[in-house]
Amino acid sequence: SDVLCGGHGQCHPVQGVCTCFYNPQDGAWSADTNCTECAAGYWGLTCTEECPGGSCNPCSGHGTCDEGQSGTGECSCDVHWTGPSCLACEMGWYSLQCDAACPQAAPFEGAPGPLICAGRGLCDDGLLGSGRCLCETSPFTGMWGGE
């Protein structure tokens, strides 16, 4: 009976195997749980919401989606990745894998941590960034050149 399939699929009359619903109206349910839990990459009470990045590649492959019926659909991004679907590098990181750090200088006393570009410019960071420092030029903070 369909009750055996959690009410979210149909039971094969001979084999007794559930065929779970997997569509926008009825939700995407997992056959591994006899249609009682959301399929991978889906969340919400009715399993109709896809994780950011899509159900085939939740969190763009760079994080973990809070999926399932009690999930929020939010991504917890891997280290150095950020954004709602983990598609961007954190500030100060660059390369297609967000695994290269921008140049840093040792922190001065009282600083919260190392200073990117010695605190005197911006790093060309991100997926397509070069990692080079774009130095600021200001009469108030001094004129900085080079990299």
Beta bridge partners of 63: 77
Structure confidence at residue 140 (pLDDT): 64
Residue located via tokens 């009976």? 1
The CA-CA-CA angle for residues 121, 117, 113, to 5°, reads 115
Q: Which band of pLDDT confidence, cut at 50, 70 and 90, is reported for residue 73?
A: very high
Residue 61 CA to residue 99 CA, distance in Å, equals 15
Whether the predicted pLDDT of 128 surpasses 50:
yes
pLDDT digits (tens, 9 = 90+) for 86-119: 999 999 999 999 999 999 877 677 767 778 888 8
Q: Dihedrals φ, ψ of 11, to 5°?
A: -95, 130
Are 66 and 43 in contact by the 8 Å Cβ rule? The answer is yes
